[in-house]
Amino acid sequence: MFKYRVINHWDNMDGSVERGYAGRSLFFKDNKFAYDKAKINAYAVLLGSIGINQISLNNVNVNSVSAKLITPEFLPDLAKVAAIFREYGIKLLIAIEFSAPKSLGGLPSCDPLDRAVADWWKEQTNLVYSYIPDLAGFLVKADSEFRDGPAELGRTQAEGANVIAAALAPHGGVLYWRCFVYNCRQDWRNTNIDRAKAAYEEFADLDGEFSDNVILQIKNGPLDFQVREPLSPLLGNMKSTREALELQITQEYTGQQIDLFALAVQWEEYLNSPVSDTESLADICGNKIEAICGVANVGDDTFLCGNPLAEANLYAFGRFGQNPKDNAKAILSDWVKSYFGKDIPEIAEMLYKSKKIYEMYTSPLALGWMVTPHYHYGPSPEGYEFDKWGTYHRANHTHIGVERNSTGTGYTAQYHPYLAALYEDPATTPEELLLFFHRLPYDYKLKSGQTLLQYIYDTHFEGAEGVLEMSETWGKLYGAVPDEIFLEVIKRLTLQDINAREWRDVVNTYFYRLTGIPDKKGRLIYD
């Protein structure tokens, strides 16, 4: 079991939710607290029932309004919400702004080595605890995607974290410091730059320099919650530093709670992935990795998660938080029984298959990054290919993928030697990760004997067909589930069918035009 089981809301105080696909915020509206106490109480009951013991309400991308949550303007209201969650064993966290000493305190700098900055953090933190004595601590996103941070001041991430941690320490508070730190102004022309390497390069050499009450919050993969990517090499490698595993419950890249995607299946795959020749990620979770943090997928929609079936993802997060070696099939089956009040194996099976189906029509072989820019829903094969964000697949008329072994960007060297050797060669790299680690010709033969390109064609056709099969399965459940749930899921499956066919046609046509190689099965590909 993880010691800390944390929900991170990305709610803005104007009521919007960043990467939120289930309506508006449960907590905020018009830049103030505005909530239905009964609904928040019910939400707290739900979270408590699945073992959640910490929660942050506001977006990690703190703005000028939410930065004031640690001031008397909002602390009385925040304390009232803390009291609701406290009843169910859940402590509050606050996402704070690294530059708060400057933006709120009026100091000329937020330099963590400046004594005045340290004093400001101490005084402000004491104030916060005077309102919420059992506050779990703070959460920080710094030096990433235009957020202020210590690096721009010539300081290390450890120096930036430790000054805030020192203010929290007398109160028993912890500081979650996100490791999603990278240069988001990269040059696509430079093939030696590799965004996947960024977090390890930023943090690995600082092992042992963080204060005892700092927990590094590390995304499951080195990029950004993709449908398929390897584990972050930071996980388990900070031997003298506390770590948390960050997962995304909200379906930013996995269908946005329109397309069905059971994250339990994905998370089980990650947790079963090796971190060395003797241990899996699950083996070190709850011990070396003491916290699990999930980006929330809830809002004020009629159905808490927008899609009624997406509530299975929130439930699965809680289950894995209590047992990282839990079983996805069992979790999904148990959720169906709990949600519908009876066993409906067809729904459990739909959920279990949904992850593979979505992966087939979007990102086979860990291709990734073909989504529509900014929105991240729907296909755009070159949408991010020539931009600053460092998320490239580098397809041309002969090859596709990024070479990340010793002859490429050298990313594989960040892993345990066992894994580095495994990922070095396409022949030993797990095929589901092939195009993440290697740049290969379209006629490269997979273990099945298929060429790489034919596999891409096949999976996109099969994935679209899989959506139709799920729709047929659901259609047969009329009368077996409440009408309002039946109709809502039908509506979303209809949208998913449109999305899957668009992915199939856009991606297959893209590669056909690029290579001139036809589908050997003669199916319709547009030219």
Strands (E) located in 141-252: 174-178, 214-219, 242-248
Longest dimension (CA), the chain: 71
Q: Looking at 11, 224, 268, 458, which residue is catalytic?
A: 224
How many structural domains is the chain composed of? 2
Q: Looking at 194, 252, 268, 300, which residue is catalytic?
A: 252
Q: Name the H helices within 197-344.
A: 198-203, 263-272, 281-284, 311-322, 328-340
pLDDT tens digits, one per residue of 344-361: 999 999 999 999 999 999
Assess whether 193 and 304 both reside in one domain: yes
Whether 26 maps to a domain, the answer reads yes
The residue from 326, 341, 374 where one domain ends is: 326
Whether 430 maps to a domain, the answer reads no
Assess whether 251 and 386 both reside in one domain: no
DSSP H or E stretch at residue 123: helix 115-131
CATH code, domain carrying 278: 3.20.20.80
Strands 440-441 and 399-400: antiparallel
> Is 143 marked active-site?
no
Whether 412 maps to a domain, the answer reads no
Assess whether 451 and 302 both reside in one domain: no
Whether 339 maps to a domain, the answer reads no
Assess whether 240 and 376 both reside in one domain: no
Assess whether 103 and 199 both reside in one domain: yes
> Is 224 marked active-site?
yes
Helix, strand, coil shares, percent, the chain, to 5: 40, 15, 45
Q: What is the pLDDT of residue 184?
A: 87
Contact at 8 Å (CB) between 242 and 290?
yes
Burial tier of 410 (Cβ tally within 10 Å: 0-12, 13-18, 19+): middle
What are the residue ranges in the chain where pLDDT is below 50? none
Q: What is the pLDDT of residue 145?
A: 93
The residue from 326, 352, 381 where one domain ends is: 326
Nearest to 311, CA basis, from 246, 250, 375: 250
CATH code, domain carrying 482: 3.90.1330.10
Residue 124 makes CB contacts below 8 A (sequence gap 6+) with 70, 71, 100, 104, 105, 167
Assess whether 57 and 139 both reside in one domain: yes
In angstroms, the CA 27 to CA 13 distance is: 8
Assess whether 137 and 204 both reside in one domain: yes
Assess whether 393 and 289 both reside in one domain: no
In angstroms, the CA 369 to CA 357 distance is: 17
Whether 302 maps to a domain, the answer reads yes
Q: Looking at 73, 87, 123, 145, which residue is catalytic?
A: 145
The residue from 296, 326, 356 where one domain ends is: 326
Assess whether 302 and 389 both reside in one domain: no
- Token pair belonging to 291: 């916290």
Domain that holds residue 146: 4-326
Whether 415 maps to a domain, the answer reads no
Strands (E) located in 406-466: 440-441
Whether 418 maps to a domain, the answer reads no
DSSP H or E stretch at residue 400: strand 399-400
Whether 352 maps to a domain, the answer reads no
Q: Name the H helices within 285-386.
A: 311-322, 328-340, 345-362
Assess whether 85 and 222 both reside in one domain: yes
Strands 28-29 and 214-219: unpaired
Assess whether 295 and 371 both reside in one domain: no
Assess whether 264 and 146 both reside in one domain: yes
